[in-house]
Structure 1
């Protein structure tokens, strides 16, 4: 229960701040490095050279600054986070402050699962299709088998979900990946590939994608272990096909690059280019002087870290039950 108390406390603080018109981020995403052992076609980040990475002391300064600004949820990604030998130390510090998650391609997971799981509340493992399709999209033969082995080991210790990016390569296999998640006894989160300027353009043609989104929504309603909310699919379909915009709240999430710099205004629009160091910035002041209004009608991406918190409402009982009550119940049951 120790992790729930600070999350609830910061959530109340954030809610009261919101009532006074103050914007506060409650989700943080941090790329620990750009370096990766895979070569995914749709990803621009492994193509970048890492500068000097943050030390553990700098990681702690970053986390303390984020916690002071009201952040409750911390997600680590890369590149490939498991390439960092000090990952356990970083996750330990995060778990003391935040609800902590990690995204990995799974190649190195089998041998590190038990050591990192004790500091994680949720683990995402990337799988983008069945064996042949996944290995093609990820650029390295054997990546599918390594990911499966990692999932089988990790689910012994922590709640696991598959993370899937829908592309032109795999869109016809996405429902099979959902079936795979069900067979493995894990969840699955899906999002649509975004065409970065320095990666291969694999975003699916919207007309062909329509039926895929409808199928995923139906599978969600039928009880398949899809992490995305039903409203997530409703919102994407309404926006991309019927012109009914959703109001994005990019200020709900703060992203931090491998050098500890804040990414503004969001993950995708400036393609993860950071500016000022987190611990040298008054985040609350920045968040409440920045002009967020120009991005509210963007609707270009399908990233859950932006769409889900933007459409969440305490008035939507299904979302409250799944995101709040269900999450707390799952956490408590995992401790028993």
Structure 2
């Protein structure tokens, strides 16, 4: 309950002011990848200078107040020490509410064993997304490796058997000009292996460009009209209306059309307030899209709070508030942005009342946002 209330207090506070410390961290462990995706060039990047388990231990010892850690890559399971890093996160972050990560699903036994190991540690909530971008033909065309579709579906099927109140797993489909109209076909193909799969088990997002992360500037963009038509079928077949993840996804999808039409983030972004991004070498960025390196953790004794309040970091946050950023609508950034815009931007008096409410939660249930 304490972890839940602390996250709720941070989300509440993020609606009215810049947080003194982010509740969400996007942590990229590696650029190593065993697929060759068309919409992402991470697999072409050299993996060098990655932070070690010891460095992550030092980092999370000094920055233990995250409620939500999103770990990603590359393929996280290509790091032989991934289990050790996950242990560090769970050991140090006493307020951790959710740990989540994607996987391409190719190394089935390694992935399933890794998830079992993490679950044995008793996390509050673990969410694993297995990437799947179409039926076998489309997926393998986009992902560049024969046999990857079958392996991904097999991995998802095995993870699905492990679902519980604290473990959720989904398929993740990234929409591109090649597959935006293949949502229904993708589900039908998976039903050949998992007959009872539903649309609620498929998460859909739109492909993005990022100079510093994906290194895919110049990638073809989606059409607003055609994408909205494809999403209309998808939304009509989803049934989980009250689930928290389903709520955030529903808001996310309802704003995709506006983003594609304008190229602008549909609501005020929460980067450098509710969240930030750290690359494999310890470089801190505002988010996964904005190519603005702020500082390296190694140069600041792994102290994110010190970096958080540097004058140039504060200025970057002010620019983000004014809409002077990369402009995106990727789930990595959109979900906390949605949660940070649940209420209208308040007057100073309302801000004071909100701060009082947050303080009450902090006093009763421990250190808050």
Normalising by structure 1, report the TM-score: 0.79
Deviations 1:75-131 (A, max 9, x none): 111111111111111112222322211211001133431333342511111111111
Which residues in structure 2 correspond to 1:114-193 (within 5 Å)?
A: 114-119=113-118, 121-157=126-162, 158-178=167-187, 180=190, 183-184=196-197, 187-193=201-207
Deviations 1:136-183 (A, max 9, x none): 100100111110111112223342111111001111112333564883
Tell me whether 207-216 or 56-65 shows the greater mean CA deviation.
207-216
Q: CA deviation at 1:35?
A: 0.9
Q: What is the total number of aligned residue pairs between the two structures?
A: 309
Deviations 1:203-231 (A, max 9, x none): 32333223123333333468699845322
- Match of 2:327? 300
Which residues in structure 2 correspond to 1:249-288 (within 5 Å)?
A: 249-251=270-272, 252-263=274-285, 265-270=286-291, 275-277=295-297, 279-281=302-304, 282-286=306-310
Which residues in structure 2 correspond to 1:1-336 (within 5 Å)?
A: 5-6=2-3, 8-9=5-6, 11-12=8-9, 15=12, 22-67=19-64, 70-96=65-91, 97=93, 98=96, 99-119=98-118, 121-157=126-162, 158-178=167-187, 180=190, 183-184=196-197, 187-196=201-210, 198-199=215-216, 201-220=219-238, 227=246, 228-241=248-261, 245-251=266-272, 252-263=274-285, 265-270=286-291, 275-277=295-297, 279-281=302-304, 282-286=306-310, 289-296=314-321, 297=323, 300-312=327-339, 313=341
Question: Aligned pair in 2 of structure 1 residues 14, 214: CA closer, same or farther (>3 Å)?
Answer: closer
- Match of 1:321? none
User: Which consecutive unaligned segments of at least 5 residues does structure 1 have?
Assistant: 317-336
What CA distance in whole angstroms lies between the structure 1 residues aligned with 2:226 and 2:110?
39
Question: Aligned pair in 2 of structure 1 residues 295, 257: CA closer, same or farther (>3 Å)?
Answer: same
Which protein is bigger by CA-based radius of gyration?
2
Give the root-mean-square deviation of aligned CA atoms: 3.3
Q: CA deviation at 1:72?
A: 0.8
- Structure showing greater relative contact order (alpha-carbon pairs closer than 8 Å, 6 or more residues apart): 2
What CA distance in whole angstroms lies between the structure 1 residues aligned with 2:266 and 2:114?
43
- Asked if the contact 1:135–1:144 (Cα under 8 Å) also holds between the matched residues in 2, the reply is yes
User: Which consecutive unaligned segments of at least 5 residues does structure 2 have?
Assistant: 120-125, 345-369
Tell me whether 293-302 or 77-86 shows the greater mean CA deviation.
293-302
